[in-house]
Amino acid sequence: MGSNIRTLMSVKSLKFFLENSFRKMLVAQMILLGVCILICSCILPVAPIKILFLWPVPLLSHHRAFSPLIEELANRGHHITAYTTVKREKLPPNYTEIIIHPDNSGPKMGDFDLTSWRHKNNFQYLHEMYTFFGRMVEDALGSPELKSLIRSNEKFDLVLAEFTFAQECLSAFGHKFSASVINLNPLFASPWLAQIAGIPHSFSYIPDFRLPYTDKMNFWQRAKNALLGSYEIAIGNLIFMPFHDRLVRKFFEYPGSTVKSYPPLKDLMANISLHLLDSHPLVSSVRPYSPNVIDVGGMHIKTAGKLPQDLQTFMDEAAEGFIYFSFGSYIDGGKLPKRVHQIFAETLKGLKQRVVWKWNQQIEGGAPNILIRPWLPQQEILSHPNCRLFITHGGFNSMIEVMNIGVPVLGVPFFSDQYHNVAVYEHMGVGLELDLEAATVPYIKEKINRIIHTPAFKQNAKRIAELFKDQPETSLEKALFWVEYVIRHKGAHHLKPASVKLSYYQYLLLDVIVFGIVSLSIVAYILYSAARIFLSLFYTRPTDVKSKRKRE
Distances (CA, A) of 16 to 11, 13, 47, 118, 388: 9, 5, 50, 77, 59
The torsion angles phi and psi of 174, rounded to 5 degrees, stand at: -65, -40
Report how far residue 389's alpha carbon sits from residue 402's, in angstroms, rounded to the nearest whole number: 10
Please count the other Cβ atoms lying within 10 Å of the Cβ belonging to residue 376: 19
Give the pLDDT score at 9. 47
- Dihedral angle over CA of 415, 420, 425, 429, nearest 10: 140
Q: Which CATH superfamily is domain 309-469 in?
A: Glycogen Phosphorylase B; (3.40.50.2000)
Give the pLDDT score at 547. 58
Q: Is the pLDDT of residue 457 over 80?
A: yes
Query: Is 31 or 526 the better-scoring residue by pLDDT?
Result: 526
Give the pLDDT score at 551. 60
Average pLDDT over residues 50-65: 94
pLDDT band at 13 (very low <50, low <70, confident <90, very high): low
**Alpha carbon 133 to chain centroid, angstroms:** 17
pLDDT band at 5 (very low <50, low <70, confident <90, very high): very low
Cβ atoms of 340 and 412 within 8 Å: the answer is: no
Average pLDDT over residues 459-480: 95
Cβ atoms of 118 and 438 within 8 Å: the answer is: no
Report how far residue 73's alpha carbon sits from residue 184's, in angstroms, rounded to the nearest whole number: 14
pLDDT tens digits, one per residue of 212-264: 999 999 999 999 999 999 999 999 999 999 999 999 999 998 777 766 678 99
Average pLDDT over residues 20-47: 48
Specify the fold of 50-297+475-505: Rossmann fold (3.40.50)
Cβ atoms of 160 and 54 within 8 Å: the answer is: yes
- Pairing type for strands 180-185 and 50-55 reads unpaired
The DSSP symbol for 541 reads: -
Cβ atoms of 416 and 352 within 8 Å: the answer is: no
Q: Is the pLDDT of residue 65 over 90?
A: yes
pTM: 0.86
> Would you call 511 helix, strand, or coil by DSSP?
helix
- DSSP code per residue over 394-463: --HHHHHHHHHHT--EEE---STTHHHHHHHHHHHTSEEE--GGG--HHHHHHHHHHHHT-HHHHHHHHH
**Number of H-type helices and E-type strands within the chain:** 21, 13
The closest alpha carbon to 196, from 228, 159, 166, 175, belongs to: 166
Q: Is the pLDDT of residue 21 over 60?
A: no
pLDDT tens digits, one per residue of 82-135: 999 999 988 989 999 999 998 777 777 777 766 666 777 888 888 888 999 999
Q: Is the pLDDT of residue 546 over 90?
A: no
Query: Is 455 or 362 the better-scoring residue by pLDDT?
Result: 455
pLDDT band at 542 (very low <50, low <70, confident <90, very high): low
Q: Is the pLDDT of residue 266 over 90?
A: yes
Report how far residue 162's alpha carbon sits from residue 315's, in angstroms, rounded to the nearest whole number: 38
pLDDT tens digits, one per residue of 274-329: 999 999 988 888 899 999 999 999 999 988 889 999 999 999 999 999 999 999 87
Burial class for 144, CB neighbours closer than 10 Å (0-12, 13-18, 19+): exposed
Burial class for 551, CB neighbours closer than 10 Å (0-12, 13-18, 19+): exposed
Helix%, strand%, coil% for the chain, nearest 5:
55, 10, 35
Domain limits, CATH 3.40.50.2000, in the chain: 50-297+475-505, 309-469
> Would you call 358 helix, strand, or coil by DSSP?
strand
How wide is the angle at C-alpha 117 spanned by C-alphas 115 and 123, nearest 5°? 170
Q: Is the pLDDT of residue 14 over 50?
A: no
Q: Is the pLDDT of residue 392 over 90?
A: yes
Give the pLDDT score at 159. 98
pLDDT tens digits, one per residue of 147-186: 999 999 999 999 999 999 999 999 999 999 999 999 999 9
Q: Residue 111: which residues within 8 A CB-CB, separation 6 or more?
A: 132
- What percent of the chain is modeled with pLDDT above 90? 69
